[in-house]
Amino acid sequence: MKKKKKWLKIMIGIISVLLIIDIIASFYFYNLAINRGPKDFLQGNQDLEVSAEAMNVFTEGGWREWVDNQDFEVWELNSYDDLKLEGYFLKAKEPTNKTVVLAHGYLGNARQMGLYGQYYYEELGYNIFMPDSRGHGQSEGDYIGFGWHDRLDYVDWLDQVNERVGPDTEIVMHGVSMGAAAVLMASGEKLPANVKAIVADSPYTSVNDMFAYQMNRMYKLPTFPILPSTSAVTKVQAGYSLTEASALDQVKEAEVPILYIHGNSDTFVPTSMAEELYENTKSEAEIIIFDHAGHGEAFVLEEERYMEKVIEFLNQYVK
């Protein structure tokens, strides 16, 4: 009997230690990836290394000077949970009924979408609108929503576009990485009828899938029990769980046509995620895969082919 009690105490002790480790790990990963602030873990991440050609465009491309020289209107939005968000609107040089809403990626900001905005503005004659996602840029928020709460922000931004530009404008949503996931998550909501098309470049299926992939790839850790407990911490701290934040579930409800873009050398967000999203999209959808392109690289490596496909797609749905 004494021996059994001894083993019971040992087991309880082991379970208690493991539980404490799990709780510590959960808060660690929440602070690491979701809490607003510097993300040193991305420094030196081989999955985010880009070619010299792409790096040159990202860091020194003429689009940066173009953005600096534009006279953007600053728009503000009070989110459903009372955050002050900022966005930046640039009216087309000639009157147009076309507006593109550009969604940036993780740890990015609205101005970085000028890389794409310049083409829409200069070559296609669109109005462009670029918001800072919650927890990024000049927008408030002490956590990163990975697109989930942002989807509702985008719905509110779309309403503001219609109020300011007019309900006759035809809207395209174009997002990259986290921004792609955000516009896909928005696709499952009730969108204004004048949202005509979505372009999703390098999206992930869900936050849970993304975390599971990265925990294994970066840390060689199993998803259980750390991922469910991290999800629980996120629910308490940020108001959403990793499993509910699903672009995959949302595109199953989508009514707006969607173009998926991905690089087959993307090791940060695997190409299979875009393929799974495409296969499960309720609305009209197309997918294009770029050979040798890493995460978010397709536009800078093959701009002409990239935009040819985007234009071909948009011409089907935007007058």
* Rounded Cα gap, residues 235 and 229, in angstroms: 10
Q: Are 172 and 200 in contact (CB under 8 A)?
A: no
List, in order of start, the domains of the chain with CATH numbers: 70-206+245-317 (3.40.50.1820)
Q: Which two tokens stand for residue 18?
A: 């493991």
Task: Between 174 and 31, name the one with better pLDDT.
Answer: 174
Distances (CA, A) of 264 to 191, 274, 290, 293, 298: 31, 10, 6, 6, 10
Q: What is the mean pLDDT of residues 284-308?
A: 96
Reported as a pLDDT band with limits 50, 70 and 90, residue 319 is: confident
DSSP designation for 189: S
At 221, the pLDDT band (50, 70, 90 cuts) reads confident
Asked if the model's pLDDT at residue 142 lies above 70, the reply is yes
- pLDDT above 80 for 3: no
> Cα-flanking dihedrals φ and ψ of residue 258, to 5°?
-130, 130
pLDDT band at 18; cut points 50, 70, 90: low
Helices (H), 107-255: 114-122, 148-165, 178-187, 207-219, 226-238, 247-251
How does DSSP classify residue 13? Answer: H
What pLDDT, in 10s, does the model give residues 148-165?
999 999 999 999 999 999
Q: Coil, strand or helix: which one is 72?
A: coil
* Spatial contact of 143 and 133, defined as CB atoms under 8 Å apart: no
Asked whether the predicted pLDDT for residue 99 surpasses 70, the reply is: yes
Q: How far apart are CA 280 and CA 209, in angstroms?
A: 16
Is 223 in contact with 212 (CB distance < 8 Å)?
Answer: yes
Q: What is the pLDDT of residue 14?
A: 64
Contact 257, 283 (CB under 8 A): yes
Say if residues 257 and 198 touch (Cβ distance below 8 Å): yes
d(CA 21, CA 7): 21
| Chain mean position to CA 224 | 25
Summarised one tens digit per residue, pLDDT across range 39-98 is 665 555 554 555 556 666 777 778 999 999 999 999 999 999 999 999 999 999 999 999
- Mean model confidence pLDDT for the chain: 90
Q: d(Cα 232, Cα 252) in Å, to the nearest integer?
A: 25
The confidence score (pLDDT) of residue 24 equals: 78
> Which band of pLDDT confidence, cut at 50, 70 and 90, is reported for residue 225?
confident
Question: 32 pLDDT band (50/70/90 cuts)?
Answer: confident
pLDDT score of 214 more than 80: yes
